[in-house]
Amino acid sequence: MSAFEPFEQFDEVEDIVDRLDDPDPGTRRVAVMDLADSADPSAVTYLKKALGDEAREVRLQVALALAEFDGPETADALVVAVVDEDAGVAQAAADSMAELKDPAAADPILPFVTHESAFVRAASLRALRELKRTESLKPALDAFSDEDATVRSEAISVVGYLKTEDALPALMSMLKDVEPAVRRTAAGALGFSVTTAAAEALAQSLTDSDWQVREIAAETLCKVQSTVAAPALRAALTDEYWQVRQKSIRSLGKLGVAEAVPEIIPSLDHDISNLRKEAAAALGEIEAPEAVPALEAHLDDPDPDVRKNIRWALGRIRSE
Amino acid sequence: MPLAQQSSSVPVVVDDDKCIADKGCTVCVDVCPLDVLRISDQTGKAFMKYDECWYCMPCEADCPTGAVSVHIPFLLR
């Protein structure tokens, strides 16, 4: 035995393929699992053929196995599986499709963005997101008016991943969607932009009726790096949800809004330690000397993370 | 006083009707970090040979047919 013998010896694809014609579905299923383990790109052709299997569990295994492969051929097989009559097979195919990384895999998927089933449309858009092909922009923008909320959400993510400023007006219009989940995705997707228009739109979302939309808007505003939203963020410090206040404090700190210091200081007394922690960090970030007495008064906060941030903030302010 | 010489139950239980180890599947045996599962010579199904479970769960999660269930002792849950 040579020293370079492989630790595990897998069967050749040809040997496994014979077992795909076995009368027993269990054996066919194990053959599919072995094809996935082979990591041999030539296995994809056989896997696609196995999608015609009459046994549901075999097709399910194929949908799972295809996650191990990439490229247009894999995508070509997955679009067959994603329209499978069995919901479990279709779901597994949708999940495998989202694992694709090769931009060339987008070509077989693109036509399915307008499929009659909302599930297939959403799955296709979800897969296209990470492939970041400019060709996905147009179909994704068209899907903004889809009747299904999940499809609209996935379409927004596709556009958000492409990061084109041209799509900004369309993305901002989705902040007015009827569905809170869609508005949440839209608020998060605007993070790539550094324009005042995006900041103004997100500032408006700080008064959204859904608190999670407000939270994401507040969080995204620190990425947009524009201080036009500073007054709206300061107003959000009186939000009834501490989660919204926490993200607003963080963004105000990152943006260095010194006017907000007196409004941030009361949060050092809040019951939720995450909020106190964020307040201490923001006060340090802004380097506000007027916050020193308030920070010193909380040096013995019961939460170690808060104490750490207070000391960090004081050190930063005093080193000036 | 009678003493129990063998444990009557083990934490990893395999449903023989669902297990497809006799068809060539060895997923649970392969994923077990303690290597305590085996394929039975008699039945061709997977079973727990050594009772040294860490309750880490991949055998249950990765079983393609959902045949494996791990019974976590109450005090560990």
* Residue-range definition of the domain harbouring residue B21: 12-70
CATH number at residue B42: 3.30.70.20
What is the model's pLDDT at position A66?
Answer: 95
Give the nearest chain B residue to A56 (CA atoms): B65
Structural domain includes residue B36: yes
Nearest to B25 among A24, A33, A64 (CB): A33
What is the model's pLDDT at position A38?
Answer: 87
pLDDT tens figures, A180-228: 999 999 999 999 888 899 999 999 999 999 999 999 999 999 888 888 9
Higher per-residue confidence, A11 vs A235: A235
Structural domain includes residue B76: no
Work out the percent of chain B whose per-residue pLDDT is above 70. Answer: 91
What is the model's pLDDT at position A227?
Answer: 87
Average pLDDT over residues A13-19: 87
Work out the percent of chain A whose per-residue pLDDT is above 90. Answer: 87
| Residue pair A301/A276 in contact by the 8 Å Cβ criterion | yes
pLDDT tens figures, B45-66: 999 999 899 999 999 999 999 9
Confidence of residue A62 (pLDDT cuts 50, 70, 90): very high
Structural domain includes residue B5: no
Lowest-confidence pick of A11-15, A18-22, A175-179, A311-315: A11-15
Rounded to the nearest 5°, which phi and psi values hold at B44?
75, 5
- In chain A, positions 57-76, which contact chain B (CB-CB < 8 Å)? 57, 61, 64
Confidence of residue B3 (pLDDT cuts 50, 70, 90): confident
Q: How far apart are CA A162 and CA A156, in angstroms?
A: 10
Average pLDDT over residues A31-47: 91
Give the nearest chain B residue to A33 (CA atoms): B25
Q: Is B2 on the interface with A (CB under 8 A)?
A: no
Nearest to B20 among A26, A34, A64 (CB): A26
Average pLDDT over residues A264-277: 95
pLDDT at residue A5 is higher than 70: no
Nearest to B20 among A30, A34, A64 (CB): A30
Q: Is A33 on the interface with B (CB under 8 A)?
A: yes
Structural domain includes residue B77: no
Which tokens in the block code for residue B19?
Answer: 């297990």
What is the model's pLDDT at position B10?
Answer: 87
What is the model's pLDDT at position A52?
Answer: 93
Tell me the average pLDDT of chain A: 93
Nearest to A24 among B23, B64, B65 (CB): B23
What is the model's pLDDT at position A15?
Answer: 84
Contact B64 A33 (CB under 8 A): yes
Structural domain includes residue B22: yes
pLDDT at residue B7 is higher than 80: no
Confidence of residue A9 (pLDDT cuts 50, 70, 90): low
pLDDT at residue A8 is higher than 80: no
Which tokens in the block code for residue B47?
Answer: 């079973």
What is the model's pLDDT at position A3?
Answer: 62
How many distinct structural domains can be found in chain B?
A: 1
pLDDT at residue A102 is higher than 90: yes
What is the model's pLDDT at position A2?
Answer: 56
- Other beta carbons within 10 angstroms of residue A196's beta carbon come to 14
Contact B64 A29 (CB under 8 A): yes
What is the model's pLDDT at position A7?
Answer: 62
Q: What is the pTM of this model?
A: 0.84
Residues of A with CB below 8 A from B23's CB? 24, 26-27, 29-30
What is the model's pLDDT at position A12?
Answer: 80
Structural domain includes residue B46: yes
Residues of A with CB below 8 A from B64's CB? 29, 33, 57, 61, 64
- Other beta carbons within 10 angstroms of residue A279's beta carbon come to 32
Q: Is B66 on the interface with A (CB under 8 A)?
A: no
Tell me how long chain B is: 77
What is the model's pLDDT at position A300?
Answer: 94
Average pLDDT over residues A151-169: 94
Structural domain includes residue B25: yes
Structural domain includes residue B2: no
Q: How far is B53 from chain A (nearest CA, A)?
A: 25
What is the model's pLDDT at position A226?
Answer: 84
pLDDT tens figures, A126-136: 999 999 999 99
Work out the percent of chain A whose per-residue pLDDT is above 70. Answer: 96
Average pLDDT over residues A20-35: 93
